[in-house]
Amino acid sequence: MLLVLSRAADRHGRIMPFPDGDVCMREFSSRVERISISGIREVFEAAGEDAINLGLGQPDFPTPEHARQAAIEAIETGKTDGYTSNKGTESLREAIAAKHDRDNGFTVDPSNIIATAGGSEALHIAIEAHVNAGEEVVYPDPGFVSYEALTHLAGGEPKPVELRGDLTLDPATVEDAITDETAMFIVNSPANPTGAVQSEADMREFARIADEHDAVCLSDEVYEPFVFDGEHHSPADFADPDSVVVVNACSKAYSMTGWRLGWVTGSHERVERMLRVHQYAQACASAPAQYAAEGALTGPQDCVDEMRAAFEERRDVLLDGLESMGLEVPTPQGAFYAMPKVPEGWTDEVIDRGVVVVPGEAFGDGGRGHARISYATDLETLKEAIGIMDEATTAVR
């Protein structure tokens, strides 16, 4: 057993030896002690090497060739040898602004964009820049695992809110949860882990709430291209520019999770505050990744359409399989996840039989009694996994 005594560390936090040779270790910050390793990671580590992995949150397609070649050309011509601007290269930010003009209902000034190390860093700096110690962050439950953890790291208080029966976030529930201590509320559409897509009416309401309350709306839109039924809408389409901060990334849209390139945008004042966090924590996003992202955004978009069509086909196959097992599952309208209600013991039985799925409680208390299934895998493998899940369902009933 390691004895921890506060007097064993000097004012710099260094471990100080005692005369008898024992060592006392400096304690850790209360913020980091409030978070733990993601439940998703725990499932991966417990699974066998030959397991079928339906737990991964990344596309199973290659990064587009034009994006790879853009990075290679930049490396070979020496463009990636030094730091870029803290916000990212001007050409990348112009490409991101053009993407929003092309695909979204709002316009972004390139000077109000920060290129980040993936969408994860964008979420981090957005929360750090807007949440004071003790202030609340309202977010969906079940929801993406980073929302709670990043709130804790900022010293804030997580305030999860339950979803509707179709697993979408109800604006009325969000508004009811907002208090004088609320700094931010998070909207994620298409959503991880549910695959739910918010309607235009919902997004108009979220925009109104952000405009009328002293709480910033953080809109996580990294799965934006993968909407199968209806269209993608953002609160930024309808809100005052100062009310909404938008996070997006190349990770899912262009199968570039390993490149770690995302971005965050908002009003000038909000971007400048987020930049203060970014410049000290990251300095700038990886230069090769920035050029790859520029290539992806400005090049042919057929690859995105092909992925969307493939995911929709796989979704339909998975839904048919789950429904034939007698499992209740709202139809996911986007992303590449389904979140069925499952019997007690189902997730463990499925994992024991060699298919990795993620228990719903990894995404919050609201996920209990559910499992997240990713269909970011080929059809043959998906059908094999469905057969195994069918056997597991029979075994636990």
- End-of-domain residue from the set 236, 270, 298: 298
Classify 250 as helix, strand or coil: coil
Residues 199 and 322 in one domain: no
CA–CA dist 42, 323 (Å, integer)? 28
- Which residues are paired to 220 by β-bridges? 188, 247
User: 107-129: per-residue pLDDT in tens?
Assistant: 999 999 999 999 999 999 999 99
Residues 205 and 291 in one domain: yes
Residues 323 and 282 in one domain: no
Measured from the Cβ of residue 268, the count of other Cβ atoms closer than 10 Å reads 12
State the number of CA atoms in the 13 A half-sphere of 147 facing the CB: 28
Residues 169 and 283 in one domain: yes
Residues 15 and 95 in one domain: no
- End-of-domain residue from the set 242, 263, 298: 298
Residues 15 and 163 in one domain: no
Closest CA to 106 of 232, 251, 197, 283: 232
Residues 210 and 86 in one domain: yes
Residues 114 and 13 in one domain: no
- pLDDT of res. 43: 75
Question: Is 22 exposed, middle or buried (CB count within 10 Å of its CB: 0-12, 13-18, 19+)?
Answer: exposed
Residue 319 sits in a domain of what CATH number?
A: 3.90.1150.10
User: 221-232: per-residue pLDDT in tens?
Assistant: 999 999 998 999
Number of domains in the chain: 3
Residue 154 sits in a domain of what CATH number?
A: 3.40.640.10
Q: Which domain holds residue 6?
A: 1-33
Residues 109 and 186 in one domain: yes
- End-of-domain residue from the set 235, 263, 298: 298
CA dihedral sign of residues 290, 114, 198, 154: positive
CA–CA dist 191, 95 (Å, integer)? 25
Residues 364 and 259 in one domain: no
CA–CA dist 129, 321 (Å, integer)? 44
Strand ranges in the chain using DSSP code E only, listed in sequence order? 52-53, 113-116, 136-141, 157-162, 182-188, 216-220, 244-249, 262-265, 337-338, 355-356, 358-359, 371-374
Task: Tell me the residue type at 307.
Answer: M
- pLDDT of res. 20: 58
Supply the Cα-derived Rg of the chain in whole angstroms: 22
Residues of the chain whose pLDDT is less than 70? 1-23, 44, 46-47
Q: How far is CA 258 from CA 123, 287, 355, in A?
A: 17, 14, 23
Residues 263 and 355 in one domain: no
Structure letter (DSSP) for residue 86: T
Residues 330 and 262 in one domain: no
